Chain A
């Protein structure tokens, strides 16, 4: 009899906690669902080098878009604003703009000014491909 009571006690406790959990989930979900939360999730970048890669890829694809419309590459990165990029990303270590080099009608690359700051020989994106040595 005692054991049965104990079992019922535990059973009720488990059910109550389960209902409470579901309730808390719905409360949390409701609080997070307000119009003030209509914003995209924040992107977390793990390291400076990851930030650089992400920036260079972003710039590279903006340059591709520029080419798609103008059939030539831009002379400088600032020409990408505002049509293709809102603002130019900065090298996280030097806080300077990245470098753009246009070699021909079909070849360009964007790179950091000084790759040695990242203990690398070079880090760049050439025609959309990341090159890191």
Chain B
């Protein structure tokens, strides 16, 4: 009886040791994979920090169930996004390329969820960069997030505005500068960003809605949001929050 009991304990202990070591092995493999992916991505993406979380199938450790990648301060074209997180369900990645060449290639994924967070500073810096690209030097724009609007306080010399816009606004620009306030909402489709003005005040005049409509029709979509080509996604949702602008697919 005692002998039988001892054998049982032995079996249980052996099982526990094996299952534990299997788990440890699995965690170690996940860790290695996370490190490899992070290393491969850091070569191709300009980001301050990359966090990779992998969870593999308990039966088949080579099969990835979930892959989550977070980029801190990532550069997307001229935009420096504060955070970009990608959640991939059952992704298939090119393992040979990853192991032999240290390159990340996503072949497919059952589900892909992308969230990008932009703070006021990032957005403001982006606007300044874009203004400089267009040769506009004295553009003074301050932004504020007031969900669901983005408020914009501007002070721009008349010379910095295109002649087309000046033509439409001529009645409201008595002096040599454009100064005022605007409240916008945004929509995005296939990475193309459109602005919809809810209220625009220019040089102490509230602009009429039909005039704003003309501007919207003429200039929208006004920007193409750069994406991370490695991940192949399209941004289709935009949400203004108190401290961030959330872009998602």
Binding site for B on A (CB under 8 A): 25-26, 28-30, 32-35, 37-41, 43, 58, 61-62, 64-65, 67-69, 71, 82-86, 105-106, 128
Are the C-beta atoms of A33 and B180 separated by less than 8 Å? yes
Q: How far is the CB of B55 from chain A (nearest CB, A)?
A: 8
B115 within 8 A of A: yes
**For A85, what are the chain B residues with a Cβ–Cβ distance below 8 Å?**
241-242
Are the C-beta atoms of A69 and B242 separated by less than 8 Å? no
Given contacts A71-B53, A71-B70, A71-B85, contact A65 B117 (CB under 8 A): yes
CA separation between A133 and B70, bound complex, in Å? 35
Closest to A34 in B: B204
Are the C-beta atoms of B244 and A71 separated by less than 8 Å? no
Q: Mark B135-155, 1 if CB is under 8 A from A, else 0.
A: 000000000001111010100
Q: How far is the CB of A71 from chain B (nearest CB, A)?
A: 6
Are the C-beta atoms of A65 and B87 separated by less than 8 Å? no
Are the C-beta atoms of A84 and B206 separated by less than 8 Å? no
Chain B interface residue number, banded? 35 or more
Closest to B172 in A: A29
CA separation between A61 and B115, bound complex, in Å? 10
**For B153, what are the chain A residues with a Cβ–Cβ distance below 8 Å?**
38
CA separation between A34 and B89, bound complex, in Å? 52
Are the C-beta atoms of A68 and B199 separated by less than 8 Å? no
Q: How far is the CB of A54 from chain B (nearest CB, A)?
A: 9
CA separation between A61 and B70, bound complex, in Å? 17
Closest to B81 in A: A68
Are the C-beta atoms of B66 and A105 separated by less than 8 Å? yes
B198 within 8 A of A: yes
Are the C-beta atoms of B83 and A33 separated by less than 8 Å? no
CA separation between A84 and B87, bound complex, in Å? 20
Are the C-beta atoms of A30 and B204 separated by less than 8 Å? yes
**For B243, what are the chain A residues with a Cβ–Cβ distance below 8 Å?**
82-84
CA separation between A16 and B131, bound complex, in Å? 44
Q: How far is the CB of B237 from chain A (nearest CB, A)?
A: 8
CA separation between A69 and B85, bound complex, in Å? 8
Are the C-beta atoms of B66 and A68 separated by less than 8 Å? no
Given contacts A30-B204, A33-B205, contact A67 B115 (CB under 8 A): yes
CA separation between A128 and B87, bound complex, in Å? 14
**For A61, what are the chain B residues with a Cβ–Cβ distance below 8 Å?**
239, 241, 246
Given contacts A29-B208, A69-B117, contact A86 B242 (CB under 8 A): yes
Contact of A71 among B51, B117, B183, B248 (CB under 8 A): B51
Given contacts A64-B246, A69-B117, A84-B241, contact A41 B198 (CB under 8 A): yes
CA separation between A33 and B146, bound complex, in Å? 19
Q: List 18 A-B contacts (CB under 8 A).
A: A28-B206, A29-B206, A32-B201, A33-B203, A40-B199, A41-B199, A61-B246, A64-B248, A65-B117, A67-B85, A67-B115, A68-B84, A68-B117, A69-B83, A71-B53, A82-B243, A84-B241, A106-B66
- Give the 4 A-B CB pairs with smallest separation, nearest first: A32-B206, A40-B183, A38-B181, A68-B115
Q: Mark B219-239, 1 if CB is under 8 A from A, else 0.
A: 000000000000000000101
Are the C-beta atoms of A71 and B68 separated by less than 8 Å? yes
**For A30, what are the chain B residues with a Cβ–Cβ distance below 8 Å?**
204-205
CA separation between A65 and B70, bound complex, in Å? 12
Are the C-beta atoms of A84 and B89 separated by less than 8 Å? no
